[in-house]
Each structure stands twice: as C-alpha cells, then as structure tokens.
Structure 1
C-alpha cells in the first residue's frame, strides 16, 4: 500500500469514528447532567425524609409506640444531615420544616409520645417536604426578607395567642368551679402559649403585668392579678375560694391581648431585640425559680421562652445567611444544644421535672446555655 493510500485510509477511519465519539460524548454529557440533578443533596435528603415520614405515619396507624419513637428520631437524624443546605438555599422552607419536625422529635424522646400531636405534625410535614422539593432558591433582597420575617413572626405570635385564649378558657372554668386538681392540670398549657408570645404581650402597657405579674412586681397585694395570683391559691393555699373575680379578669385580659395583637406593628430590630431580652430575662431571673414559685413549673416557662425566641431566629434566617452565615450556624447549634439539655427533664408535652428537684449544677448548666443564646441573639440585634 502506497503512503498516499495509507494516509487516506487513516483519515477515512477517523471520519467514521467521529460521529460515534461525538454521540458518546453527548450521551455522557447528558448523563452527567442527569447525575448532577439527581445528586442534589437537598432533593436527596428531602426524599429520604419523605420516606421516613411515610414510615412514621404507618406506625401511627398501627399505634406502634416503639416504631413511632424510632421514626421520629430517624427524621431528626436525617434532617440534621442536610439542614444547613436547606437553610442556605431555601431559608423560607427551612423554618416551616423545623416548625413541624422538631415537635415530632421532642415527642419521640418521651416514654409515651402523644400520637395525636405527632400525627398532626407529620401531616403538616408532608406538605412542607413537598413544597421544598418544588421550591426555588430565595433571591430576595435582605430588606424584603426582613419584612417577610416580621410578617412570619407575627403570624406565629398570633397563633400562640389564639391558643392562649383557647386553653385559658378551660383553666378559668375549672377555677370558677372551685376544682383545685383540675385547675392545676390545666394551668401549664396556657402558660406555654403565653411565654412563647411574651415579647408581644409586653408591648401593650399594663396587659403583661395584669396577666403575668409576680407578687413582688406589684406595690400592694390588692393590685395583683393574673396567672400567678391564681397559681398561689392553687399550690400554696390549695383553695380557690374568692378566685372567681381573678379568673374572670384573667380571661378578659387574655381576650384583650388577642384583639390588640391582631393589629400590632413591629420592626425587624424590635422583633430581634424582644427575643434577645426574653432570653436574657430567662437566663438571669427566671432561672432562679422566681417565675413559678408555687407550682415549680419553671422549666416549662424556660422552654417556652426559648421556643418563642427560636421563632424569631427562624423568621430572620433568610436575611441572616446573607453575609452572616457563621452567626446563623452558631445560633442554630446553640438552640439544638439547649433543646438537648432540656430533654433530660421533659416528662410529657406540658410537664418537666419539678424545678426544686434540680441541683445547683443542673441549674447552672441550663443558665449557661441560655446565656450563650442570649449573647448570640444580641449579635443578631446589632445587624438589624
């Protein structure tokens, strides 16, 4: 074969192979794109959470307590494995998922989880996980994000105050009926909702003192009213004689709070400052046991205060992660640390260890965690 023919043969062979190589390259490119799509850690993590949530719902249908606790904890483990990616890319969806996932996890750590509450949160979580899969990454400007944060927080506060009204009614009825034991059982739940929304209540002049004052907050005992006046009657006097007027006043004040909160306006700075001040108060004064000095249900109040502050943090996340991601990470970890600390003492939805049974070291540990949260939220207040 002449050299010229050899060259022609090689060129022809190359031309024949070129379409195959190009096609192969194109297929590889398409495959890589597909792999990149399916390898999205947020989508992968969310699909795994959907499956675990389905398993949880199946366990709920069977009333299988062991499985409910198992899948509730698995949901939390899965969420922790990729939540930072969600927070960074989809901060609005992040807060909504936390809102339902965290209560499920809390129940899974109890000896007897409240199946009805787990089911309610699991159903809501189903919708939020679907929304996350279809969500687009948040690109709004920080100022608009903070306006949205305030709106989201006010919705949260309104929900808590609505529940405060709803749960105060049966408590007040038990007081008016003179049923000490029933009133004691119904005392804690409205306290949770009030403490979560306390920064809003404190914005309305005399309403917070009327509802939540301790005896040392008033000049004379005749000026005292609200939850803690009735608390003393229940646990110290073990009698509800003469408490009807205080019960009626408490109900009227709570209804007034609900009405005023519906039209309340709030700035981003005031929102964050309120959460910071609430944590500071919890860490310095409430931790002493002075809040619930007769019922000793102080840990319920402390957890509720932190829950309310967490709602502020979650609402502010979209703005926080733009330029302050490290701070957002620190706050997130500190909320987790506090919740983990409190799980040691949680007995049920509304019951924690009697505060008087905690030793000095245990109280110091809780106080330290609260102080860390307060300092971190103080940094957030400076940003906004």
Structure 2
C-alpha cells in the first residue's frame, strides 16, 4: 500500500478491501486440460513453475509468499506491453490470472512492494497447434464484444484528448477555477479505460504517477503534479509552479495523451483482455479510490470511482452474451451487484459539482462519513468476488 496518511474513515475501510483483491486459497476455476502455472512471489524472488507452456488457455496461480504486497505481470517479449496482470496480492494470498495466450516470447514479472521493473524472467509459449480462433456462434459473439469495446476505448480516448486540451489551456493560462472544474471531467475518460492505458508501460508513469509512488530518481510529471499545484492546501511549504513550468508540464501531458490516442487506434484487443480489464478496473477502485489515495490533493476520488465502475460495466456487458451461454447465474449476479454499487454511488452526487456526460458530479471524498465509506467498500467487495470469475467463465 502506498505510504499516504488516510483519514479515519478511510483507515476503517482498509481491512475491508483485502477481501476485494485477495483469496487465501488457489482458485478451482482452471478446467481439466488447461495449463496451470504456479507463481511464488517473495520479497526477493519470483519462482515460476514452468517457463514454457503450449499455446491456449493458461491459468497463472500467483501466491504471495513474501512480506510485501506484490503484483504479477505477463509482458510481451519487449518487456513493455502488458498482456495480463494481477495487482495488490497481499502476503499469504493467492490470486489467479487467466489468459488465452498465442505462441510467442513473453516476460514474467513479480513486483514485491509494487515498485520498480520487478523480478523478470523469459517465458515462452510454444505452438500447440490448437486454433485459438472462436468458431460458430462463439465467433460472432467474440467479434461483437471486441468490436464494441474497441470502439468504446477509442471514443473515450478521443474524449480524453479533447478534455485534456481544454484543461491544459486553462491551466497554462492561469485560470485555476476553470482548470479545477475541468480536471475531474477530463480524468473521467482516462479512468474509464485505465487498464488499457496502463498496458503501455512507458506512458502510464509519465501521465498518472502519484507523488507517493515515485521511485528514486524518477521525474514527476502528469495529472497529479498539476492536481497538487491546483489544490495545494494539504501540502507543507508548497511552492507554486511558475507560468513557464506550467507550460512545460501541461504541454508534456498533452503530448503524451496524443501519443496514447495514437497507440490505442492501433490496438487489437482480445476477449480475455476485455474480461480481465473489467476485473482490473474494479481493483483500481479498491486500491486507489475507496482508500482515497488516488486524488489525494483534490478529493475528487468519487469521479474516478464512478469512471472505473463505468468502464468495468461496459467491459462486462460486452462479454455478457458469451457469459450467459456458459454461466447465466454469474451474469445475473454481476448485474445485481453492479446495480447495488451504482445505487450507493448515486447517493453522493452533487448538483453543484462539475457534470460529466450531463450527469451531476460528486461531493468531495473527505465529505463522506465513516459508515458511508464502509458501505462503498462492502459493495466493492461484494462485486469483486464474482467479477474475479468472469474471464475463466467467458473462456470456458
């Protein structure tokens, strides 16, 4: 967990979040014949049971045998593009990552303490001869899911670019009131596709790094640097950025956003990435939004919370036709729990706050009571458990 001081209400929520992202026993979702790779992550090692598997459905059972919260990644052969990940695996917990993996060279990485490049090793997927292309009715449903979600991601990235341009213009011109109003609205479009944006490992830290996450020697740039400059009240002895510095950081954010949009336009998603993305977005809620860590300076966390839930639900709904064929009860359960979580979020809307897509925005996160934070945490936990089974069910 990142070293930030949390308000009492958020400290109360912290133990509740463990259930959202961790399981203390390996999952039984792997079907007979699937390749299962066990991963033991310790404070100084990443032991992978096999460094070579045949192409097809692969289940990584990731156990944290260390003392720090850890993460596990399957990266492309270049060590940059993220093919799949599980984050925030607590000590003694086991998490599962399910992927349909084509032949090729990959890299595995454990990140004890959730920092740095991680403990890496080469990983090879040989050609099993199996055709991973869906057939029959499934092929049509997969094509539909991929087409719809890629269009959604592209639309959100285009809106992110437009919103960032407006925000940067106000920020560089010194119109702080306007910049503060535009900040959570523009970031909504980032948060809705956060797991896709994070797959570009070189861009994400430039755009979305928080001050508490910075590593030794890392230059801080991006959204949260400007957030602190606009809301410095919680900072000690803060020196405001000069107009020249604002232009440098604003132009840098805009250039990186433009780069992101270009990369997303070339991205080819798979159905397992969409399902895993839904789970990943809810994990973002649990690890950065419910805790109040994401928007530490502005307290606009509920905008990000809503955006992550929006993106998770869109991804789920895209693969729902496949899920209904394989596990209709899970589809119904996810519907009910998404609805329950949304009902709680809607209770914290504020008609006077900046609107997003015509809907009212939200109160500041520091205005929530301890019991209200607990209710949100409980609803996130209730949704997280069935959502963790989504990918395995879709690929069944």
Gaps of 5+ in 2: 1-134, 233-237
Query: Superposed, which structure 2 residues align to 1:206-245 within 5 Å?
Result: 206-220=202-216, 223-236=219-232, 239-241=240-242, 242-245=245-248
1:105 maps to none
Rate the CA distance shift 1:283–1:334 in 2: closer, same or farther, 3 A.
Answer: same
CA offset digits 1:55-101 (Å, max 9, x no partner): xxxxxxxxxxxxxxxxxxxxxxxxxxxxxxxxxxxxxxxxxxxxxxx
> Which residue of 284, 290, 294 maps to 2:287?
284
| 1:141 alignment partner, SS class | helix
Comparing both structures, which one devotes a greater share of its residues to helix? 1
2:314 maps to 311
Q: CA deviation at 1:315?
A: 0.6
CA offset digits 1:139-178 (Å, max 9, x no partner): 9612431232122111101100000001110100011112
Looking at CA atoms only, which structure, 1 or 2, has the larger radius of gyration?
Answer: 1
Q: Which moved more, 1:354-363 or 1:192-201?
A: 354-363
Query: Superposed, which structure 2 residues align to 1:152-231 within 5 Å?
Result: 152-220=148-216, 223-231=219-227
TM-score (ref. length: structure 1)? 0.61
TM-score (ref. length: structure 2)? 0.60
Inter-partner Cα distance in structure 2 for 1:353 and 1:256: 32
Tell me if structure 2 keeps the 8 A contact 1:145–1:318.
yes
Inter-partner Cα distance in structure 2 for 1:216 and 1:151: 37
2:76 maps to none
Query: Superposed, which structure 2 residues align to 1:61-100 within 5 Å?
Result: none
> Which residue of 333, 336, 344 maps to 1:333?
336
1:11 maps to none
Inter-partner Cα distance in structure 2 for 1:284 and 1:259: 28
| 1:285 alignment partner, SS class | helix
1:362 equivalent in alignment to 2:358: no
1:275 maps to 278
1:302 equivalent in alignment to 2:298: no
1:376 equivalent in alignment to 2:372: no
Inter-partner Cα distance in structure 2 for 1:145 and 1:291: 35
Inter-partner Cα distance in structure 2 for 1:143 and 1:216: 44
Inter-partner Cα distance in structure 1 for 2:320 and 2:246: 44
Tell me if structure 2 keeps the 8 A contact 1:180–1:238.
no
Tell me if structure 1 keeps the 8 A contact 2:337–2:383.
yes
2:252 maps to 249
Tell me if structure 2 keeps the 8 A contact 1:225–1:250.
yes
Q: CA deviation at 1:238?
A: 8.9
Cα-Cα RMSD: 1.8
Inter-partner Cα distance in structure 2 for 1:266 and 1:150: 7
Inter-partner Cα distance in structure 1 for 2:308 and 2:292: 14
1:266 maps to 269
1:142 equivalent in alignment to 2:138: yes
Tell me if structure 2 keeps the 8 A contact 1:279–1:371.
no
Query: Superposed, which structure 2 residues align to 1:47-58 within 5 Å?
Result: none
Rate the CA distance shift 1:379–1:222 in 2: closer, same or farther, 3 A.
Answer: closer
Q: CA deviation at 1:331?
A: 0.8
Rate the CA distance shift 1:220–1:261 in 2: closer, same or farther, 3 A.
Answer: same
Query: Superposed, which structure 2 residues align to 1:6-85 within 5 Å?
Result: none
Inter-partner Cα distance in structure 1 for 2:386 and 2:252: 38
Inter-partner Cα distance in structure 1 for 2:364 and 2:169: 25
Rate the CA distance shift 1:162–1:144 in 2: closer, same or farther, 3 A.
Answer: same
Q: CA deviation at 1:222?
A: 5.9
